[in-house]
């Protein structure tokens, strides 16, 4: 079975949107892709899919895009893997065919686990009206862009206008919603604040990245940047799968830059009185680097 060119992923399109277009134009039920690739779409969440679905698309696209390229361009894979541990990065490269050997046991379950990281994603589908108009003019149809669905991304990365929130969830009534399902009466513009631009710009930069980086490298860069900026009391302690950064000076910088109210609303639990934690969430790193007047950048090198 081969996917016609009209069903190839559009620029920035999330994989569930491509699936939705296929189902719409072919009148196939959601269960058809479910059976073909062995992936339970009803358990997926906003552009997050299992390794089987990526391999399924890889074959249907006549191998023009590798599994890793699909994962990096159509799912939240790069947002997570930019800040994963060295072992996790190696495992996922192996599973996606980007490495020949990997230490430890590797299963598809470990690949799928990153795609249920709900703190990275919004609960409802969002869109940009200007982008929809341009998509219709260029492609003759609309599709969902992955960056629109990222948590705290409230503006369009192209037009810098507020995104519009729909009442649509990722999977509704056992099918994938398409832009044609939007009910304008239930739509509302997302709130934009003084941090919206930097959040959108950083998210777009990370999604465009194709180089996987281990978390330890980011910790090293943070320490160097902090020391250069006069923050000298940083102490790093591994706690389970995360790192706790103890630094009263850095915490004060974070609160001063982002604002206590904003942090309480959007980042509750991330910042304590004298420390904060760095895990697999890109927002954790952005909080610290922006407070030190440093762009997050694509790599810590």
Q: Which residue has the tokens 């919603």?
A: 177
Residue 107 falls inside a structural domain? yes
Report pLDDT digits (tens) over 130-139: 999 999 999 9
Secondary structure (3-state) at 248: helix
Residue 175 falls inside a structural domain? yes
Its domain, for residue 188, covers 1-212
Whether residues 27 and 85 fall in one domain: yes
Residue 278 falls inside a structural domain? yes
What one-character DSSP code corresponds to residue 296? -
Whether residues 202 and 226 fall in one domain: no
Residue 227 falls inside a structural domain? yes
Name the more confident of 240 and 197. 197
Distance CA 37, CA 56 (A): 6
Q: Does the pLDDT of residue 204 top 50, yes or no?
A: yes
Whether residues 160 and 272 fall in one domain: no
Q: 298 vs 83, 110, 209, 256, CA distance in Å?
A: 11, 24, 6, 25
User: DSSP string of 75-126?
Assistant: SSHHHHHTTB-HHHHHHHHHHTTS-S--SS---HHHHHHGGG-GGGB-SS-E
Residue 1 falls inside a structural domain? yes
Distance CA 162, CA 191 (A): 7
Distance CA 231, CA 96 (A): 40
Phi, psi for 160 (deg, rounded to 5): 60, 25
Whether residues 194 and 231 fall in one domain: no
Number of other CB atoms surrounding residue 94 within 10 Å? 17
| Average pLDDT of span 274-296 | 84
Contacts of 69 (CB under 8 A, 6+ apart): none
Of the candidates 140, 149, 201, the residue with the CA atom closest to the CA atom of residue 10: 140
Predicted pLDDT of residue 44: 42
Of the candidates 92, 66, 55, the residue with the CA atom closest to the CA atom of residue 77: 92
Residue 160 falls inside a structural domain? yes
Distance CA 48, CA 76 (A): 6
Contacts of 284 (CB under 8 A, 6+ apart): 83, 270, 276, 277, 278
Q: Give the confidence band of 120 by pLDDT, cuts at 50, 70, 90.
A: confident
Report pLDDT digits (tens) over 122-132: 888 999 999 99
Q: Does the pLDDT of residue 57 top 90, yes or no?
A: no
For the chain, the farthest-separated pair of C-alpha atoms sits apart, in whole angstroms, at: 61
Q: Give the confidence band of 251 by pLDDT, cuts at 50, 70, 90.
A: very high
Residue 297 falls inside a structural domain? no
Best-predicted range by mean pLDDT (68-77, 88-97, 204-213, 217-226): 217-226
Q: Does the pLDDT of residue 110 top 50, yes or no?
A: no
Of the three residues 178, 212, 246, the one that is the final residue of a domain is 212
Whether residues 171 and 191 fall in one domain: yes
Tokens of 124: 């409802």
H helix runs in 96-246, sequence order = 108-113, 129-139, 196-207, 215-228
Average pLDDT, the chain: 77
Tokens of 275: 């420390």
Whether residues 164 and 224 fall in one domain: no
Of the candidates 106, 105, 11, the residue with the CA atom closest to the CA atom of residue 51: 106
Per residue, the 3-state secondary structure of 53-67, as one string, reads HHHHHHHHCCCCCCH
| Average pLDDT of span 223-227 | 91
Of the three residues 190, 212, 234, the one that is the final residue of a domain is 212
Whether residues 28 and 130 fall in one domain: yes
Whether residues 196 and 239 fall in one domain: no
Q: Does the pLDDT of residue 294 top 50, yes or no?
A: yes
Q: Which residue has the tokens 């023009």?
A: 64
Residue 300 falls inside a structural domain? no
Domain count of the fold of the chain: 2
Q: Does the pLDDT of residue 210 top 50, yes or no?
A: yes
Whether residues 144 and 45 fall in one domain: yes
Q: Are strands 188-189 and 164-165 parallel, antiparallel or unpaired?
A: antiparallel
Whether residues 232 and 89 fall in one domain: no
Report pLDDT digits (tens) over 149-178: 988 899 999 999 999 999 987 655 455 788
Of the three residues 156, 183, 212, the one that is the final residue of a domain is 212
The least confident of 143-147, 221-225, 275-279 is: 275-279
Whether residues 48 and 146 fall in one domain: yes
Tokens of 185: 């009466």
Whether residues 284 and 240 fall in one domain: yes
């Amino acid at each position: 079975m081969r996917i016609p060119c009209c069903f190839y992923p559009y620029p920035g399109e999330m994989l569930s949107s491509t699936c939705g277009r296929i189902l719409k134009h072919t009148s196939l039920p959601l269960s058809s892709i479910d059976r073909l690739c062995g992936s339970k779409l009803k358990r997926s969440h906003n552009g997050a899919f299992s390794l089987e679905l990526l391999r399924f698309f890889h074959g249907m696209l006549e191998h023009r895009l590798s599994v890793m390229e699909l994962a990096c361009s159509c799912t939240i894979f790069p947002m997570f893997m930019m800040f994963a541990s060295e072992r996790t990065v190696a495992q996922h490269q192996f599973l996606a065919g980007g490495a020949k050997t990997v230490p430890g046991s590797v299963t598809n379950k470990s690949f799928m686990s990153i795609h249920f990281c709900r703190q990275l994603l919004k609960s409802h589908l969002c869109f940009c009206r200007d982008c929809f108009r341009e998509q219709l003019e260029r492609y003759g149809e609309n599709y969902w862009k992955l960056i629109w669905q990222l948590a705290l991304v409230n503006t369009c990365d192209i037009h810098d206008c507020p995104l519009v929130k729909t009442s649509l969830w990722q999977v509704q009534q056992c099918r994938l919603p398409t832009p044609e399902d939007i009910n304008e009466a239930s739509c509302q513009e997302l709130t934009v604040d003084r941090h919206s631009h930097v959040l959108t710009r950083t998210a777009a930069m990370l999604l465009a990245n194709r180089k996987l980086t281990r978390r330890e490298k980011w910790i090293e860069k943070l320490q160097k940047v902090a020391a250069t900026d006069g923050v000298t009391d940083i102490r790093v302690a591994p706690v389970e799968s995360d790192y706790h950064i103890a630094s009263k000076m850095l915490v004060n910088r974070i609160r001063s830059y982002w604002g206590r109210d904003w942090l309480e609303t959007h980042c509750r639990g991330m910042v304590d009185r004298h420390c904060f934690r760095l895990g697999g969430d890109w927002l954790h790193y952005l909080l610290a680097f922006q407070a030190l007047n440093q762009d997050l950048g694509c790599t810590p090198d």
